[in-house]
Every structure is written in structure tokens, then in C-alpha cells.
């Protein structure tokens, strides 16, 4: 679903898993995409994690028959589809936002990437190429919030 306002701007962003068991929508444009190189994201996604932030009050899960939450740390959980395995959400406890995986958004997203985080934790099997995006270490990212 792609809703547009009177000025032609998109007003609703929708997304979900590969099998359709989990769907969500938001009435605000997601933030630019962040690539996360931490060990947890690499394991969850099979490589680098990619996330786009949405204010919690604007994100609504509209179908959750196969949504499963995994408590990945004392301060966060990760949402995925228990049927098809699609990674969908990163939810930090007490934060005013939730991250969605931009690959789960319906296109066109209108998004672009703006940063790499946890670059000091990247896998030993790849290099982060010169792409002009901001880069943060784990300490810098934690300090930035």
C-alpha cells in the first residue's frame, strides 16, 4: 500500500516479511538507513544488519500471526517471522523509536543510507568500501545514543 497526500508525498510506509505473516505500517518516513557491523547483527542477518528508525508511536504492526521476539540482550529484542525467518525489527527497551529492516519495506522506499556503525566489530571476511557514509565505532555509537 502506498498512500500519498495532496502534494504527492508518500504518507504511509508499509512492510512485512516474505511470507506475509507479519505486516506493519507507519505514518512517518523512516530515517535514513544505518548499516550495523556488530556480531549480533551479522548473525541475525547473515551479514551486515541494515536498519531504519521509526518513532514508536507511528509504527503499527497490522499482522503478527508469525511474529517472534528474541531477547538479544538485557536492553534489546529482535523481531522476526517464525515461519519464513525474515528479520524485521530491532527494539531497544525504553527507547522512543523502533528500528525496521529497510529490506522489509514495500518499495518504493525513497530511503538512502547515511552511516555504518560498530565498524570496529565488522567481520574479518570483508572490508567496508569507500562509500562516503559516516562511520562510527561501537564506543562512538553508544555515546551518540
Residue 8 — pLDDT band, cuts 50, 70, 90?
low
Looking at residue 4, its pLDDT comes to: 52
Q: Which residue has the cell 565498524?
A: 119
pLDDT at residue 142, rounded to an integer = 79
Check pLDDT > 80 for residue 9: no
pLDDT above 60 (res 7) = no
So what's the pLDDT on residue 140? 86
Q: Please, what is the Cα angle at 59 between 55 and 64, to 5 degrees?
A: 145
Buried b (16+ CB within 10 A) or exposed e, 72-82: eeeeebbbbbb
Domain boundaries, the chain: 3-144
| Strands of the chain, DSSP E | 3-4, 10-16, 22-26, 33-36, 49-55, 59-64, 67-73, 76-81, 87-92, 97-100, 113-117, 134-135
The CATH code of the domain at 3-144 is 3.90.1590.10
Give me the sign of the Cα torsion angle 138, 17, 61, 10: positive
Q: Which of 3, 2, 23, 20 is nearest to 89 (CA)?
A: 23
- Tally Cβ neighbours within 10 Å of residue 52: 24
Average model confidence (pLDDT) across the chain: 92
Report how far residue 116's alpha carbon sits from residue 106's, in angstroms, rounded to the nearest whole number: 23
Contact 90, 73 (CB under 8 A): no
Q: What is the pLDDT of residue 144?
A: 75
Residue 82 above 70 pLDDT? yes
**pLDDT tens-digit readout, 94-125:** 999 999 999 999 999 999 999 999 999 999 99
Cell of 51: 536498519
Amino acid at each position: 500500500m502506498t498512500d500519498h497526500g495532496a502534494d504527492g508525498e508518500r504518507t504511509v510506509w508499509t512492510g512485512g516479511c516474505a511470507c506475509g505473516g507479519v505486516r506493519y505500517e507507519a505514518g512517518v518516513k523512516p530515517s535514513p538507513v544505518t548499516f550495523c557491523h556488530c556480531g549480533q547483527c551479522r548473525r541475525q542477518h547473515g551479514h551486515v544488519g541494515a536498519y531504519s528508525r521509526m518513532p514508536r508511536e507511528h509504527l503499527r504492526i497490522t499482522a503478527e500471526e508469525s511474529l517472534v521476539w528474541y531477547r538479544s540482550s538485557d536492553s534489546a529484542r529482535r523481531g522476526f517471522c517464525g515461519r519464513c525467518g525474515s528479520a524485521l525489527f530491532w527494539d531497544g527497551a525504553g527507547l522512543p523509536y523502533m528500528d525496521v529492516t529497510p529490506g522489509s519495506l514495500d518499495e518504493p522506499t525513497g530511503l538512502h543510507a547515511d552511516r555504518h556503525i560498530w565498524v570496529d566489530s565488522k567481520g574479518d571476511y570483508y572490508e567496508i568500501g569507500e562509500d562516503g557514509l559516516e562511520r562510527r565505532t561501537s564506543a562512538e555509537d553508544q555515546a551518540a545514543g
